[in-house]
Amino acid sequence: MKKILTIVGARPQFVKAATLSRQFQLLGIEEKIIHTGQHFDANMSDVFFEEMEIPKPAYQLDIHGLTHGAMTGRMLEGIEEILLKENPDGVLVYGDTNSTLAGALAAAKLHIPVIHVEAGLRSFNMKMPEEINRILTDRISNVLFCPTDTAVNNLKREGFENMPVQIIKNGDVMQDAAIYYAAKAEQKSKIFNRISFPEFVLATIHRQENTDSPDNLKNIVSGLNEINRQIPVVIPIHPRTRNILTQLNIVPEFTLIDPASYFDMIMLLKSCKLVITDSGGVQKEAFFFGKHCITLREQTEWVELVENGLNILVGSDSIKLKDAFEYFKTKKSNFNIDLYGKGLAAEKAAKEILKS
């Protein structure tokens, strides 16, 4: 039996991992999950794993709240110890977190094959820690599962065709998750006990380039305040961002709610008129649920959404934000195009892992 160790460190990675875990069980692949603890979350309880049908981690490293270097170093040490004990056939990593890089490094140095899901993504912004993590992880991986043609082409431009690696376009496992959990969200979510707008815009702000820049944050809030005068804007907001708004005396006129669970986010995405975000994952989820998206960044890894007129990049420019909102008020788009694999990404990846 094939044995895979999966490295995760943040809630979105658990959701992604759940899609492949289901397929591993169907194919008879043994999997053990290592949770680094990178994003500490008090809500990551047994109930969370049961509701999401996610296998509980075999190992908990509980490493969080440190600098990038300290966190990555301790993860590397902890993961290496587990790999030496477990001796798996492969190590599976997702996306672009410090946990991803630490897992890939630990495995590569022990000559254990590295499997990278969400390979080939590039923002071309080297100031983003995620960009550094994803580039380095790709370079030391053996199997590169790419969500899009753009991701495949990025790797080809970087010379990966001349390296002893497998490049496989399988689609995006987040679309698998969105499809699988949509029906469950209808039953589990209580989000509309907290908000009762018949129509609203859903927004999220969490990237440091926005939250840690007073000018960027003021501009974004100013633009959202203007939009809120036409249609209610709802933001699930992290306590840290809420505190920054208070410290800077920035006054939102829109509705702030506590951070939303995955099921709650699905319901908000399904019900909103438009999405405004600086999150990579939420940009795609907007598409999965048939919603236009305005992205509060200068670059995106998901260029196909921009190329198909479904997403507009505005950075922190309040005027561009308002213009994009006006444009999307009357825009009609085809959300049935196949950009991310139509929910078969995890199945394709698991079958390839079984073969390799």
Categorize the per-residue pLDDT at 18 as very low, low, confident or very high, splitting at 50, 70 and 90.
very high
Q: What is the mean pLDDT of residues 7-32?
A: 94
CATH architecture for segment(s) 3-172+341-355 = 3-Layer(aba) Sandwich (3.40)
185-238 pLDDT, tens digit each: 999 999 999 898 999 999 999 988 999 999 999 999 999 999 999 999 999 998
For residue 71, give both structure tokens: 């966190």
Tell me what pLDDT residue 1 has. Answer: 74
Closest C-alpha among 311, 309, 262, 323 to residue 284: 311
pTM for this model (two decimals): 0.91
Mean pLDDT of 283-298: 97
In Å, how far from its chain's centre is CA 80? 25
Amino acid letter, residue 322: K
Residue 293 phi, psi dihedral angles, 5° rounding: -135, 135
182-329 is classed CATH 3.40.50.2000: yes
pLDDT digits (tens, 9 = 90+) for 184-194: 999 999 999 98
Active site residues: 206
Mean pLDDT score, 21-37: 96
Between CA 209 and CA 299, with CA 135 as vertex, the angle to 5 degrees is: 35
Q: pLDDT, tens digit, for every residue of 258-282?
A: 989 899 999 999 999 999 999 999 9
Residue of 335, 43, 308 lying closest to 178 (CA atoms):
335
For the chain, give every residue range classified as CATH 3.40.50.2000.
Answer: 3-172+341-355, 182-329
